[in-house]
Amino acid sequence: MADKPEKEFGKRKPVSVPASPRPAPPPAKRSGHVALLLMGTVAVGSTAYVLMPNRTCEPSPNAASMPYQQGSTECTSRGSSSGSHSSGSGGGSSRSSYYSSDSSSSSHSSSGTSDSAAHSAQRGGFGSFGHAVGFSGG
Amino acid sequence: MQRIPCPERDDWRATAESMGFCFHTIGGERYWDERAYYAFTLNEIERRFETPTAEIEAMCLELVGRAVSDEKYLRRLKIPEAFWPLISESWRRRDASLYGRLDLSYDGWSPAKLLEYNADTPTSLFEAAVFQWTWLEQAMERAIIPKRADQFNSLHERLIEAWKKIGGGKHLHLTGMTDNVEDGGTLAYLQDTATQAGLKTTLIDIKDVGLAGDGRFVDLEDRPIELAFKLYPWEWMSQDTFGAKLTAAPTRWVEPPWKAILSNKGILPLLWEMFPKHPNLLPAYFEDDPKATSLGSSFVRKPLYSREGANVTLVSAGTTLMEQQGPYGAEGYIRQALAPLPSNSDQYAVIGSWLVDHMPCGLSIREDENPITGNTSRFLPHAIV
C-alpha cells in the first residue's frame, strides 16, 4: 500500500485568490505571452499537424534559454516505411504513410487485441469503446 | 455580463489556420464565432467566477477524499469495483491533475451555479487558451473592443508551469483518438505546452498503445510509457480490453484515475448532500433517491456518465422540453434543479471556468440556440472591460 496522504491533501482551505495588482502592469488576469512552439508551423490550410500520431518532440539543449522560439525543438515522425524528420516546423508528410500503414494492417483480431509482427507487444486493447462513440472530449 | 455584437476580423480564418486551429468550422457551421463577445467587469470575474471556482474545486477534492475512504460513495457513482484500487492508489500517491473545466450557469446577477465538472477529458482548450487571446490582442489593435480591455486567461503559461511540475524529467506520451480533429487538436496543443516546459513528448493514438509481456504499456517502438496524458475517458479505458491491466501497470496517467470520480454526474447530488444550500450548487439527487421528488416537476435529468450534453433531458412543469440523444444512461441518472441558461439574443450561454493545477485561470463561453449546449455549440470570446 502507498503511504497515507498528507493531512492537507484534499481538504478545503480558505479560498485564496491573489488580489489584482491593477493598476500596475501587467494586469492580473491576462496572459503575458502566448506563443506556440510546434502548432501552426505546418498546418496552414490543412489538418496536417493534428493528424501526426507517433510524432516525438524533444527540446534542443538550448531550448531552456529560449523556450518560446520556434526552431528550438527537434521532432521526428515515425511512418510506416520511412520516418520524416524536421526541426521546429515538424514533418507534415508522415500522415499518408501512417494511415496507409494503419489501414492495410490486418492484425486486429476479433478479441480486439493483436500481436504486432514487428513487436512483441499486444495492441488495440484501448480505443474500441471510444471509436464506437466517435469523440472523447467534453 | 453583456453580450456585445461586434465586427469580425476579416482575416480570422487565415489566422486560425496559421495557428493550427483547424476545427474553427465544423460540418460547414461556425464553431469559432466572433460576431459577438461577452463583456464582464473585473469585479464580476473575481466574485462570480474566480472565487467560486476555487471554492467548488476545494469541495470536489474533499468529496474525492471521502469517496476513496468509503466505498458507499463509489457504489453510488456506479464505478466498477475492479477499478476502485486504481482510483484510491492514485489519490493516495497524490497523482497530479493538469486541468479541468467547470460548466456554470450564470444569469448576470445571482451566483453562478455548477452544472457539471469536465474533470477528465475537457476539450475546447486551445481556443480558450490561445485563439481567444489572439482575438483579444487583435480586437484591441483594430478598435473592435476598448483599448484597455483584458481577459481572464492565463491558461497557456499555467499549463507550461504545470507540465514542469508533473514532468519530473520523464518522457511524456500523449494519447487519444487522434483521428478526431477536435481531440487531435487538443492533444497537439498540450504536446506544444509540454514541449515548451522542456519535456520530451510523443503523440500516439490510443489504439496503438501496446501491452508488453511484463505488463507495462508501451509505445510503437516498444518504449515503456511511464507518464501519459490521455484524452480518453476513464470509464472507457476501464471497459476496453486493456482495462483489466491498468491496476498492475506502472504508467502514471494524466488526468489521474481519481478524476473518474469528479467526471461523474453523481458528484452533483453528493456535493449537494455534503454542502447543502451552497450558493454555487443546485439541488440535485440520484434519480432513485425519494428526495428527488422534492424537485417537483421541473428538473434536468442527466446520466451519470455523459459528454457534450448527450442523453440529457430538460423537463419543465412535467413536460419534456428538450432531449439530447446519445449512448449513455445504462448506469443510471441524477436529477438536478432546473436552472435555465440565460438567453441573450435568443442564444443560450454556458460559462466554462478553467482550472490548471487546481488554480482558476480562464474563462470560455459556449453558445447555442438550444438550451442544452453540446458538441456543436459555438465558442465566443470574452473580454474584461
pTM of the model: 0.85
Q: For residue B274, is it within any domain?
A: no
> A92-137 pLDDT, tens per residue?
222 222 222 332 333 333 344 544 444 589 999 999 988 777 666 6
> A29-40 pLDDT, tens per residue?
666 778 888 886
Q: What angle do CA B127, B129, B131 make, to 5 degrees?
A: 45
The stretches in chain B having pLDDT less than 70 are 308-309, 345, 373-374
Q: How many structural domains does chain B have?
A: 2
Q: In this predicted structure, what is the pLDDT of residue A40?
A: 64
Do B115 and B256 reside in the same domain of the chain? yes
Q: In this predicted structure, what is the pLDDT of residue B325?
A: 73
How far is Cα B180 from Cα B229, in angstroms, rounded to an integer?
Answer: 16
Please name the residues in contact with B195: beta carbons below 8 A apart, sequence gap of 6 or more: A37, A38, A57, A58, A59, A73, B201
pLDDT at A21 over 80: no
If you ran DSSP here, which 8-state letter would residue A117 be given?
S
Q: Please report the residues numbered 80 through 109 in chain A whose beta carbons come closer than 8 angstroms to any beta carbon of chain B.
A: none
Last residue of a domain, one of B337, B356, B371: B337
| CA distances (Å), origin B106, targets A35, B47, B178, B348 | 31, 12, 34, 11
Counting one residue from chain A and one from chain B, the pairs whose CB atoms sit within 8 A come to: 267
- Cβ proximity of B251 and B216 under 8 Å: yes
Q: In this predicted structure, what is the pLDDT of residue A101?
A: 30
What's the burial of A97, exposed, middle or buried (CB within 10 Å: 0-12/13-18/19+)?
Answer: middle
Last residue of a domain, one of B337, B354, B369: B337
Closest-CA distance, B204 to chain A, in angstroms, reads 5
Do B160 and B288 reside in the same domain of the chain? no
In 3D space, the residue among B251, B205, B331 whose CA is nearest the CA of residue A98 turns out to be B205
Q: In this predicted structure, what is the pLDDT of residue A112?
A: 45
What residues of chain A lie within 8 A of the CB of B308, using their CB? 135, 137-138
Do B218 and B331 reside in the same domain of the chain? no
Do B168 and B225 reside in the same domain of the chain? yes
- Cβ proximity of B150 and B137 under 8 Å: no
Q: For residue B293, is it within any domain?
A: yes
Do B298 and B223 reside in the same domain of the chain? no
Tell me the ipTM for this assembly. 0.90
How far is Cα A88 from Cα B369, in angstroms, rounded to an integer?
Answer: 41
> A44-83 pLDDT, tens per residue?
333 444 456 678 898 876 554 444 455 567 888 765 333 3
Q: In this predicted structure, what is the pLDDT of residue B327?
A: 73
Q: For residue B219, is it within any domain?
A: yes
Do B171 and B298 reside in the same domain of the chain? no
What residues of chain A lie within 8 A of the CB of B18, using their CB? 40, 43-44
Cell reading at B34: 466572433
How far is Cα B182 from Cα B123, in angstroms, rounded to an integer?
Answer: 7
Do B257 and B307 reside in the same domain of the chain? no
Q: For residue B272, is it within any domain?
A: no
Bridge-partner residues for A85, per DSSP?
A: A76
pLDDT at A18 over 90: no
Cell reading at B310: 448527450
Do B113 and B178 reside in the same domain of the chain? yes
Using CA coordinates, name the residue in chain A closest to B175. A53
Q: Would you call A37 and B58 a contact, using CB atoms and an 8 Å cutoff?
A: no
First to last CA, chain B: 10
Domain that holds residue B165: 2-264+343-384
Q: For residue B271, is it within any domain?
A: no
- Residue A16 in contact with partner chain B when CB distance is under 8 A: yes
If you ran DSSP here, which 8-state letter would residue B45 be given?
I
Q: Could you tell me how far CA B107 lies from the centroid of its own chain?
A: 21
Do B202 and B82 reside in the same domain of the chain? yes
Q: For residue B100, is it within any domain?
A: yes
Q: Would you call A17 and B360 a contact, using CB atoms and an 8 Å cutoff?
A: yes
Do B310 and B176 reside in the same domain of the chain? no
pLDDT at A41 over 60: no
Do B165 and B127 reside in the same domain of the chain? yes
How far is Cα B350 from Cα B122, in angstroms, rounded to an integer?
Answer: 14
Last residue of a domain, one of B337, B352, B370: B337
Q: For residue B125, is it within any domain?
A: yes
Q: Would you call A120 and B212 a contact, using CB atoms and an 8 Å cutoff?
A: yes
Q: In this predicted structure, what is the pLDDT of residue B350?
A: 94
Do B173 and B201 reside in the same domain of the chain? yes
Q: For residue B273, is it within any domain?
A: no
Q: In this predicted structure, what is the pLDDT of residue A62?
A: 59
